[in-house]
Amino acid sequence: MLRRLFRKKPKLDKVKSAMVTTAGVAIRPSKSPDDAYGDLFHDVQQSKVYDDGKTFVDMVPRKRSRELRKEYELARADPNFDLNEFVNRHFYEFRPRRHEPYAPTAATTAREHVANLWPELTRRNRKTRGSLLPIPHSYVVPGGRFSEQFYWDSYFIMLGLAADGEWSTVTGMMKNYTYMLRKFGLIPTANRSYFLSRSQPPFFSQMVKLLARHRGRTRTYAEYLPALLIEYRFWMKGRKFAGEHPDMPAYARVVRMPNGTILNRYYDNKTTPRPESRREDIATAEKAGNANKDKIFLDLRAGAESGWDFSSRWFKDTKDIQSIHTTDMVAVDLNALLYMHEQTIAEAYTLIKQPLLAKRFRRAAEKRAESIRRYCWDAQQNFFCDYDFRNGTSTRKLTLAGVFPLYAKIATSEQAAAVARQIEDKFLCEGGLVTTLVNNGQQWDSPNGWAPLQWVAVQGLREYGYHELANRIRDAWLTSNERVFAAERKMIEKYNVVQVGGVGGGGEYPLQDGFGWTNGVYAALKDDQERANAK
């Protein structure tokens, strides 16, 4: 009898997934908490009911938002009103039912720990729970405060899932993204209502390539071509309007360059404080003393879309977040990824025997590559930098975003050689690559190193034959991961690479454990190291 029940569960699971896939597209998503709760939301976030602003926006209301607003208006008129008590009574934290918590033993290796963590980090949500949006299939979350399917995190998580043969989870996460693309017209930062106005670095084409290794190129590319095209339209929306007026070269996420080609920037569709960081954003805008607070909020949101939230990369004054101007920059990493996106679409059209469409996207990719080399190559710095289109100059800032043209195979051999020298001389530390050369307390700056950027650098250098340097970076990063694991028995979000074995810091929230993309990159690079040592 029990066996029959267990056999039915996968069938029931498939039915529920199918229901979300089909019916869910037609259902309107819930409102962002800042729009839904009105004054209640503002008061909770500004009063610091919770130390972390993300806590409240992730909570689930026990009533409809309209009822909550009305009850709050009446309740707060009472002289003895207690905001904390009101929130505790009307909201709860969604905690998925879990089995006994996993903890590594003294004998567990870091590689074994990563494999053991996948079930711990796997979630499933098929109905709206406050700001958490339903998606059809199970997914792996980063961990800690991040309990959603985050966009660019997912690619690096998938690297580890692939290394451990967890292809069904990879496929499910990919299907979640095709669902979101159909429903929202973009891949949002994560499946939260307050993330629907922005995306993240577009790694979807790289996910398609990864899955194709397992399922076959023609089948995979043909299946995901419609989704690739939807995402491409999202990033290229407004290209007809960009540059219509000389003083307005940009529109949404597109920028018309002086040579007439279209490149891209990070952006957001709202000009209000981020709901999950409302208090911090308002404080930044007030300290800036800038009358145009909407622009500061937009630049903060765009910085969040970049995934680098936050970094001196986006500041006019490298020490001061109040000088943020993300939307003034053509981002070198974003454009390298969109070049790869265009090439992937071209390859898909080739595989399904549509040569004219393949040629169209290949030509677009070639134009983009030429413009990246023209505008983002800084001959003085001997490095790829972001381009400030307002000033018509390179930002002159050395950051690991500059290795993305190597990852995308856009750089010339001379440019790649110069980048490799800079990486070796200025970025490589005992524990891996430092994100920037500026130490200012921001988490995407020195002394922090991050797993995705180590991966991109290693792969990019290998594309141009710099295997010895790539291996040194790999080994240094793995040493960082393993030293911290030996001491703390956990994988973490970011590391201090200047002092090998150090933990990362800075930013708007405490250091997080888990951690999805660290696990994924560690698994892929560790397996690579072991294969190399076995030769």
Q: Is 425 left (phi over 0), alpha (psi -120 to 50) or beta?
A: alpha
CA gap 252, 20 in Å, rounded? 30
- Compute the half-sphere exposure of residue 194: CA atoms within 13 Å on the CB side of its CA: 28
Residue 122: phi and psi, rounded to 5, are: -90, 135
Strands (E), 354-465: 377-378, 383-384, 387-388, 393-394, 428-429, 432-433, 448-449
| CB 276, CB 507: distance < 8 Å | no
445 noted as active-site residue:
no
3-class DSSP state of 392: coil
Dihedral angle over CA of 14, 16, 21, 26, nearest 10: 160
> From the candidates 148, 268, 347, 493, which is the catalytic residue?
493
Beta strands in 143-298 (DSSP E): 250-251, 254-256, 262-264
Both tokens of residue 367? Answer: 């134009």
493 is catalytic: yes
Handedness of CA 433, 111, 155, 215 (dihedral sign): positive
Ramachandran sector of residue 81 (left: φ over 0; alpha: ψ -120 to 50; beta: rest): beta
Element (H, E) at 68: helix 65-75
- Of 236, 235, 173, which is closest to residue 200 (Cα–Cα)? 235
- Cβ burial, residue 96 (10 Å; 0-12/13-18/19+): exposed
Give the number of other CB atoms < 10 A from CB of residue 336.
29
309, 328, 347, 482: which one is catalytic? 309
Cis bond before residue 310 (omega within 30° of 0):
yes
Q: Side chain identity at 432, as an amino acid letter?
A: G
Query: Can you name the residues that pair with 502 across neighbouring β-strands?
Result: 496
Which pair of structure tokens corresponds to residue 513? 């454990």
Name the DSSP class of 164: T
Known catalytic residues are: 309, 493
